[in-house]
A and B are shown apart, each in its own frame.
Chain A
């Protein structure tokens, strides 16, 4: 048997082992199964967030774009490299605090409790189920096709083996298994791509040699406007390409749930630093390999296979063995998180919320496991049968989720008076505008990327809708203040007290805290 297949099978068994290891721990309570008891440290939080965010697109779609358009494609990588940092900085601390104060175990439940509206949960769960399923089908399909191409297995068996392992460890170990497998998968992803980039640069003569040769083939490869300057002057497209990954992750329920599972708000600072280092090493590399493909593989028929073809043609042996696992790691680490989130939505947001409100702990865990299993089995069947209409949804999945939820999550922690009417309007308008912009190709007419259009429209809808709703209850306003983090006096005054007036003033401020605490 080939060395890459042996390596990959060992890797699958290792992932399965993690699932089995966490089975008992995950069964203790719904909070254990769905949120790992909110006890994740910075390294796991950072790496699970990154590997969840970065799907098979990083090894297939991204490099294909780089192969076709040259340095224009790096705009996506620039956004991606900062996505996790922005996400943790903006939402991390406040969402961690608020989700615990609200007692929310799922990102949709969080929105319902924050905005005190069952309608938000119904609309949110509906959008989540439709588009997360579409997203997970795409990942399963990618898993099957990658395994089929790289191992020679029959497609159906490739799906059943590759996806079957994901389902098994997710059902058994729940969120704990998902985040810990993600942790190891992110390391494999980084190693696979870094080895290849270093070896690739040796072939093309470093970054200078790469650019020199690209310019000789076609100078437009070096511009940020795409091949043949096809996007010349279209700043709406260029900015949208970066924004979609720079801020879009803040709208993905399976990504923002990572804020809710951190050990404490103190986890955020180190997680941000780890994320920054990881992203700068990882995110640009697949695109660089796409550029190398233009030089080294000029006759490539399927640009999506540029990285595997590079690995198998120029670096056979252990490098290609690591690469097969790295490509699958990118797909699996996203697929398991989506699957887990789909299961959470089915069990917590639909079953426990609307069918059996008084379900016991053990019953909720059982239902969660069955939901993940059901979502996985449906996913396998769809990936094998490939009904035509279902895959039309995949095109909208990322953008629609991002545009539906991003404004809602940010408003939940930064706008005290944000209300349910505003949030519902922004969710519906943001999601719908992305679908229309993409399906009717309004990007070509307006020169504005669908994500940027959806973002602007959802913000406007939030501002208008908020005028028609009632302010949040006193209880929610109090929780909002607590989630912001209590300060004794407004920050600028506090700073000056500490600096200029000295410890005596601090005693006064402590006295004030007892009498009349101020949040700011």
Chain B
């Protein structure tokens, strides 16, 4: 594809997709962590 040799294609082309996927996963993971943390803080305050 794109006239790349196979080796160059597989070592180069996937990287932008890998980085974007990483960032999207991190976004949702951190979002979930924050929601849990907020929940605990709020619950904790409510108990006090």
Residues of chain B within 8 A of A268, CB atoms compared: 30
- Contact mask for chain A residues 269-282; partner B; CB cutoff 8 A; 1 contact, 0 none: 11011011101100
Is the C-beta of A192 less than 8 angstroms from some C-beta in chain B? no
CA distance A93 to B37 in the complex (A): 13
Q: Name the CB-closest residue of A to B18.
A: A82
With an 8 A cutoff between CB atoms, is A309 at the interface?
Answer: no
Q: Which residues of A contact B5 (CB under 8 A)?
A: 222-223
Q: Are A211 and B3 in contact (CB under 8 A)?
A: yes
Interface magnitude class on chain A: 35 or more
Chain A, residues 360-403, CB within 8 Å of chain B (1/0): the string is 00000000000000000000000000000000000000000000
Contact B7 A224, beta carbon cutoff 8 Å: yes
A208-B3, A223-B5, A485-B37 known; A272+B20 contact, CB < 8 A: no
Do most interface residues of chain A lie in helix, strand or loop, or is the interface mixed?
helix
A38 within 8 Å of B (CB atoms) = no
**How far apart sit A272 and B31, CA to CA, in the bound complex (Å)?**
12
Q: Are A222 and B8 closer than 8 Å at their CB atoms?
A: yes
How many Cβ-Cβ contacts under 8 Å join chain A to chain B? 87
The reply to whether B4 and A272 contact each other, CB–CB distance below 8 Å, is no
Given A222-B8, A273-B27, also A514-B47 (CB < 8 A): yes
For B26, what are the chain A residues with a Cβ–Cβ distance below 8 Å?
85, 88-89, 269, 272-273
Majority secondary structure, B binding face: helix
Query: Is B3 a contact of A82 with CB atoms below 8 Å?
Result: no
Q: Which residues of A contact B40 (CB under 8 A)?
A: 486-488, 510, 513
What is the CA–CA distance of A69 and B39 in the complex, to the nearest angstrom? 54
Residues on A with beta carbons closer than 8 Å to the beta carbon of B36: 487, 494
Q: Which residue in A208, A270, A277 is a CB contact (below 8 Å) of B2?
A: A208
**B12 to A215, Cβ gap below 8 A?**
no
Complex interface: chain A residues within 8 A of B47 (CB): 510, 514
In the complex, A82 Cα to B27 Cα: how many Å? 15
C-alpha gap A281/B36 in the complex (Å): 33
Task: Return 19 A-B CB contacts under 8 Å, by A number.
Answer: A71-B8, A82-B19, A85-B19, A207-B2, A208-B3, A222-B3, A222-B4, A269-B26, A269-B30, A272-B23, A272-B26, A272-B30, A273-B24, A276-B19, A280-B20, A494-B36, A506-B43, A510-B43, A510-B44
- In the complex, besides A82-B15, A211-B2, A269-B27, 5 extra interface pairs with C-beta distance below 8 angstroms are A78-B15, A276-B24, A486-B40, A488-B40, A514-B44
